[in-house]
Structure 1
Amino acid sequence: MQSPAATPDEYIASLPEDRKAAMEKLRGTINKNLPKGFKEGIGYGMLCWSVPHSAYPAGYHCDPKVPLPFLSVASQKNFIAVYHMGVYADKNLHDWFVTEYPNHVKTKLDMGKSCIRFKKPEIIPFALIGELVSKITMQEWIDLYEKNLKG
C-alpha cells in the first residue's frame, strides 16, 4: 500500500489513528539510532532512509535518479513493515537479528528477505529495531551494496 504523501510528516499524518503512535515511535527510534549520513524521505510511497546522491552519485542501480535505498517503514493493510536492506544483503546481520528477535518478542518472527512484519503494533521491539539500524554505517552500506551488485 503506497502513500501519496510527499514528506515523512505527511505520511504519519495520513495514517489511521491505531497506527500513528507506533509509526511515530518507530520513526523516532530509527532517526535516533541510524548512523549519520542517511537521509530521511519518502520512497516508493513509504518512509525511507537512503544514501543521498551527494554521498553516492551513482544512485540505485534500478533507477540511478533514485538515491540508494537502505531502510523503509510502511503501514500496510494488515501489518507494519520494516524493510532493512542490510538484513537482506548481509547474512551475519540477518542471522544476528533472527537469533536476537526471540529475546525481545514472544510471537514468531514474520520475515521475508528484507521485510520484517508486525501484525500488532504493540509487539514491535523498538529497542531491537534501534540496535539493528545502528549496525551499518552509510559507508558500510555503500560497500556492501557494491559488493553484492558486482557479485
Structure 2
Amino acid sequence: MQSKANNVEEYLKELPEGRKTPINKLREIILANIPTDFNEEMSYGMIGYVVPFTIYPEGYHCNKELPLPFISIASQKNFIALYHMGIYASPALLKWFTDEYPKHTNLKLDMGKSCIRFKKIDQIPFDLIVELVRKMSVAEWIAAYEAQIKKSK
C-alpha cells in the first residue's frame, strides 16, 4: 500500500493507530543507527533512506530521477515491512541476517528478496534491526549495488 504522503510527517499521521508505535520505533532505530550520508525521505510511497544525488549522482537505475534507495519501512495491509536493498545485493549480509534472526525471535522469518515482513508487530526483533542497519556504509552499499548492476548486464 503506497502512501500519497508528501513527507514523512504526513505518512506518520496517516498510519492506523496500531501501526504508529512500531513504525515510529523502526524509524527511530534507523535514524539513530544508519551510517552517515543516507537521507530520509518519502520514496515509493514509503519512508525511505537513500543515497543522495550529491554522493551518487547516477541515481537509481530503474528511475534515474530518484536517488539510490537503501532501506524503506512501510505499513502494508497485513504486515509491517522493512525493505533492505543491501540484503538483496550482498549474499554475506543475507547469510548473517538469516543466521541471526532465530537468535532474536521464535517466529519464522518471512522474507522476500529485500523485504522482511513482520506480521506480529508486537514481536519485531528491534535489537536485530539495530545491528542490521549498522552493517553497511554508503560506500559499501554503492559498491554492492554497482556489482549487482554489472552482473545483470
- Normalised by the size of structure 2, how large is the TM-score? 0.97
What is the Cα deviation at residue 127 of structure 1? 1.0
Report how many aligned residue pairs link the two structures: 151
Hey, what's the Cα distance between the residues in 2 that align with 1:8 and 1:131? 23
1:70 aligned onto 2:70 = yes
**Offset at residue 120 of structure 1 (A):** 1.6
2:108 partner amino acid: K
Q: Distance in 2 between matches of 1:120 and 1:52?
A: 33
Give the letter for the 1:137 counterpart.
S
**Which runs of structure 2 are paired with 1:14-93 in the superposition (5 Å)?**
14-93=14-93
Alignment of 1:3-14 (within 5 A): 3-14=3-14
Give the superposition deviation at 1:121: 1.1
Q: 1:116 — aligned with what?
A: 116
1:138 positional shift: 0.5
Query: What whole-Å deviation, never above 9, does each CA across 1:14-65 have from its counterpart, x for those lacking one?
Result: 1000000000000000111100000000011001000000000000011111
1:76 partner letter: Q
SS at structure 1 position matched to 2:48: strand
Do structure 1's residue 133 and structure 2's residue 114 form an aligned pair?
no
Distance, in Å, in 1 between the alignment partners of 2:85 and 2:107 is: 23
**What 5-or-longer segments of structure 2 have no aligned partner?**
none
Give structure 1 stretches of 5+ with no counterpart.
none
Q: CA RMSD in A?
A: 0.6
Query: 1:138-149 residue pairs with structure 2 within 5 A?
Result: 138-149=138-149
| Matches of 1:142 and 1:86, distance apart in 2 | 9
Matched letter for residue 84 of structure 1: H
Task: Give me the whole-angstrom Cα distance separating, in 1, the residues matched to 2:68 and 2:42.
Answer: 12
